[in-house]
Structure 1
Amino acid sequence: MTVPQPDSWQTPAPLHPTQGLPTLPRCSLIPTPRLLSGLAGWTLFGLLSVVWPELTVWWLLAGGLLGACVARDAFALQRRPPLAAGRVLAPALPLGVWHPVRLRFDNPQPQPATLTVFDHYPSAAAECADLPQRLTVAAGGWIELTYRLRPLVRGEWTFAPVQVWLDSPRGLWQRNDRLGEPTTVRVYPDFAAIARYLRLTADRQETLLGIHRRRRRGEGRDFLQLREYRIGDSLRQIDWKATARLRKPIAREYQEERQQTVLFLLDCSRRMRAQDDALSHFDHALNALILLAYVALRQGDAAGLHGFGGERRWLAPRSGPGMLPALIDGVYQLQPTLESPDYVEAVRLLLARQRKRALVVLLTNLRDEDQDELRPAVALLRRRHRLLIANLREPILDDVLEQPIHDLSQAQLYATTCHYRLRRERVQEELRQHGAIVLDVPPDRLPAAMVDRYLDLKRSGRW
């Protein structure tokens, strides 16, 4: 699978709209409301003939004419060839984003075709708007309709053939056809939102995401060059030998160290099933993971993944532009499980696979009872790696504390929330004392917070 660059992620792959004729057999004919209304009128006419027997002949004559018209209409519809149909859809869709889907219908017959259309999208994984639709295709012509689709579950999903109810010439019958071929799409984490974030950041600060390498005086680890001393430089930067030789203050200039490693430790346990908006905490974590991986790869670093908590997934750290598609392919089908997280086991497996020092980014949802289990896990990691814990905080906690208090129940809820947050903050403070960097932010702010902290570490050289 090849994932395009962010600027082209929104461009759908072209499909031939007329490809694929119906592959399923046509169903039996269905009477329309018009036919049912005619039959109801004829039945009422028969009741009248009971009261006035002289109307019986006319009732029988009307029945014969109606039967002949109905039979002829059904015969004409049954003999009519189906339309050609095709679906134009991007092969990769971002999660939680409304996306247009186009359906095209070709009518090669010399008569117009009136039909009602419903597309069998994967209803378990998406929601749609603007379906069903009713339209008329001109004789020998074609028509396109568009409806909107929003994927809600990541993974690989299949669209069944389009369902079409084709009207008979007189509108008395409908034929249920299945047109076109099934279409398989992949639903990825919200790369569209990531692309928008990247463009917004570039407008605000063009060098934030490594588009232009930033050089900072006295920061970084890799030596770059010698230059004249400037006001604000650290005394540690002065090169005394060059200063004595040139008889003026000379300072060393450094650049950010490259070819480092960012390793994501992704929690796939039941903790990440929490959901505050259209996306779960796990989906927010994947969005932040992909964004930070993109930034790290642009900075020349390597990125890798270790999943734990019921779903074990290992992607060895690699650098280069090909790693981002591999990373997205490796996580787009991951779903949080019902198991509990085992931080110590996850750390031991990571240490056995990753010998080189790395920035380990733990994406999880901490609880106050995790203190006893996290303490030995952090102690194991800090011996060889730098640990950044990205904790997703439930936005409802902030909402409760911002609400005014009017009665006893609200006061009790406020006190309980404060107590819960205090216990969580104590756990986070203890983790900081053990050498971990802890981020505690709402899910929608996690991507920006992780990127900012990563760049701070790159600038300071405290990897």
Structure 2
Amino acid sequence: MQNSLFSLFYRNLFLTGRLFGALACSALLFMTSFFLPWLNIVPYLIFFVTMALLLLDLALLYSGRNRLFAKRHMPERLSNGDENEISIYLESRYGLWLNLEIIDEIPQQFQKRDLVFRTKLKARGDTLINYTLRPTRRGEYTFNLLRVFVSSPLGLIQRRYSFGEPVSVAVYPSFLMMRKYELMAISNRLSEVGIKKIRRLGTSMEFEQLKNYTPGDDYRSINWKATARQGNLMVNTYSDEKAQNVYCIIDKSRNMKSAFEGLSLLDYAINTSLILSSVALLKEDKAGLITVSDTAGACIAADRRSGQLNRIMEALYKEKSRYLETNFELLYNITRKTLKQRSLVVFFGNFESMHSLERQLPFLKKIAKFHLLVVVFFENTELKKLSGEKAANVEEIYIKTIAEKLVYEKKLIAKELARHGIQTILTAPQNVTVNTINRYLQIKSSQKL
């Protein structure tokens, strides 16, 4: 709000500068006329013409009320980490062309202090201004007033309009990306966003339908009779096993507070958990959620009931990272109490060193004994980039060596987990969704669960 008021004062000062300049010029000519008497009439002419134009501009802009209408249109809730479209509708009831400056007082979380739109609006015309906002934190965001500054073609003064009331909007986990993956999953087009086509192993699955052959399909499933009838290659498709439990477990400890491209690791995990739950439900599996840190968090039993995805989304919306380490013994006890049958457990966490893994490995091995455990943890993309750069001096060699050591230790963690029969996904934060869904589809296809 303070930034908007400052901008308001600054713009008023700038636009009245034309009027001030005309008056200053008149005063200068008036003083000059003491030495050049024939200039006496010029400052008076400039002054009276300026005053006449000023009164005309006042009459044009301030005659009548509610001569301009503006309204902000936005979704009922915003999607975290995505570009959300906002629009401003403007309608003029003036009988002349207008120059407009629009200041939208967006939430302070965006830290945008220069969101100003300039446009022209014809007589009794309307227009629509579209822009996008990308939130990087869940929670309540407050949009304040919409300020519109109107000036006539004369441009001597401005009239200020204020529209709307402060309104709060909730920023939820990435439901826009979730819908995108839902559509891809329904139409079997997940490969378009990087999801691999997994070759099916074995033939124990039930026949589902015939479809046209697409690259990547197993040629052994070609139905030659249907191919002869249709005149193009047709393949048999089989339905996966259904009603399997898929749990997303999210570590909320301080290890998940690191931020990449504006989003914390916790938010990457939350967005991926929501999308994976959505895809699992579309595949007719049961989706569940557990969050944990030093204390127990949300716990939603796996189910396929109507509204299950909304329950998961509401739980994820409220989650916040904590400053203490995760209690893995508590996590193991929760899984033993909650997970009554063998399930796919996708654990989102972050291990920075072998020492941190060794302290928690006994509990991960116990969970993997009863369930199919997939551990998802994150590459440090900044360190990886630094380790690939050339060093020019001794200091840079030292920094590069440390970065390479830390990057290599992440790979050792993945190998150590795999050695104990625990599946791992070591991924860059921006690729976590695609890599996790790939692994889920691979597990479904290979019938490991």
CA shift in 2, pair 1:333/1:401, >3 Å: same
The equivalent position to 1:134 in structure 2, one of 111, 119, 133, is 119
Structure-1 separation of matches of 2:48 and 2:240: 91
Moved more, 442-451 or 148-157: 148-157
Which residue matches 2:342?
A: 357
Query: How far, CA to CA, are the matches of 2:72 and 2:173 in structure 1?
Result: 23
Counterpart residue type for residue 455 of structure 1: L
Alignment-derived partner of residue 430 in structure 2: 444
> TM-score if structure 2 supplies the norm length?
0.74
TM-score of the superposed pair, with normalisation by structure 1: 0.72
Q: Name the counterpart of 1:172.
A: 156
Instruction: Measure how far apart 1:176 and its partner are.
Output: 2.1
* 8 A contact 1:156–1:333 mirrored in 2: no
**Is 1:282 equivalent to 2:266 in the alignment?**
yes
For the pair 1:90 / 2:79, whether they are aligned, the reply is: no
Residue equivalent to 2:311: 326
Structure-1 residue corresponding to 2:100: 115
Equivalences for residues 275-354 of structure 1 within 5 A: 275-309=259-293, 312-320=297-305, 322-332=307-317, 334-354=319-339
Q: For residue 387 of structure 1, what is the aligned residue in structure 2?
A: 373
> Residues 49 and 329 from structure 1, CA distance in 2 versus in 1: closer, same or farther, beyond 3 angstroms?
farther
From 18, 27, 32, the equivalent of 1:43 is 27
Q: CA deviation at 1:372?
A: 4.0
For residues 339 and 291 of structure 1, the distance between their equivalents in structure 2, rounded to whole angstroms, comes to 27
1:420 aligns with 2:390: no
Name the counterpart of 2:448: 462
The alpha carbon displacement at 1:374 in A equals 1.0
What SS is found at the alignment partner of 1:151?
Answer: coil
Corresponding residue of 1:399: 385
Q: Does 1:105 align with 2:93?
A: no
Stretch deviating more after TM superposition (197-206 or 40-49): 197-206
The 2-side partners of 1:384 and 1:437 are apart by: 14
Separation (CA, whole Å) in 2 of partners of 1:128 and 1:193: 28
Matched-pair contact (CA < 8 Å) for 1:364–1:390: yes
Please state if 1:33 is matched with 2:17.
Answer: yes
> Which residue number corresponds to residue 228 of structure 1?
none
Amino acid at match of 2:372: R
The residue number in structure 1 matching 2:137 is 153
Q: Deviation per CA, 1:385-431: give whole Å up to 9, x if none.
A: 33211111112343344334555444433432343344444444443
Using the alignment, how far apart are the partners of 1:154 and 1:263 within structure 2?
22
Specify the code of the residue in structure 2 equivalent to 1:32.
Answer: T
Deviation digits for residues 19-65 of structure 1 (CA, Å, limit 9, x no counterpart): xxxxxxxx998662321222222232343245557866765675466
Identical amino acids, percent of aligned pairs: 23
Cα distance change of structure 1 residues 68 and 414 upon mapping to structure 2, 3 Å threshold: closer
Amino acid at match of 1:303: A
TM-superposed CA distance for 1:209, in Å, is 8.7
Give yes or no for the alignment of 1:375 onto 2:361.
yes
**DSSP-derived class of the 1:132 partner:** strand
- State the alpha-carbon separation in 2 of the partners of residues 127 and 387 from structure 1: 42
Q: Is the 8 A contact 1:365 1:392 kept in 2?
A: yes
SS at match of 1:327: helix
Distance 1:66 1:131, change over 3 A: closer
User: C-alpha displacement at 1:180, in angstroms?
Assistant: 3.6
Q: RMSD value over aligned CA atoms? A: 4.0
The partner residue of 2:242 within 239, 258, 261 is: 258
- Displacement, 1:363? 0.4
Contact persistence 1:95–1:187 (CA under 8 A): yes
Q: How far apart, in 1, do the equivalents of 2:410 and 2:99 lie? A: 62
5+ residue gaps, structure 2, are: 1-7, 209-219, 221-237
Letter in 1 for 2:405: H
CA contact (8 A) 2:33 2:39 kept: yes
For these two proteins, the number of residue pairs brought into alignment is 405
Residue 282 of structure 1: SS of its match in structure 2? helix
Deviations 1:343-400, CA, capped at 9 Å, x for gaps: 3333334444444432221101112131243124324424543321111111234334
Provide closer, same or farther for how the CA distance between residues 411 and 198 of structure 1 changes in structure 2, counting only shifts above 3 A. farther
> Take 1:445 and 1:361, find their aligned partners in 2: how far apart are those partners?
16
Residues 48-59 of structure 1: matches in 2 within 5 Å? Answer: 48-49=32-33, 51=35, 59=43
- After superposition, give the CA deviation of every residue in 1:87-143 in whole Å (9 maximum; x if it has no partner): 2333344444444433222223444443221222224237599732132341x3322
* Distance in 1 separating the partners of 2:52 and 2:391: 75
Q: Is the 8 A contact 2:280 2:286 kept in 1?
A: yes
**CA, structure 1 residues 127+214, in 2 after alignment: closer, same or farther (shift >3 Å)?**
farther
CA gap of 1:199–1:410, structure 2 versus 1, over 3 A, is farther
Structure with the largest fraction of helix: 2
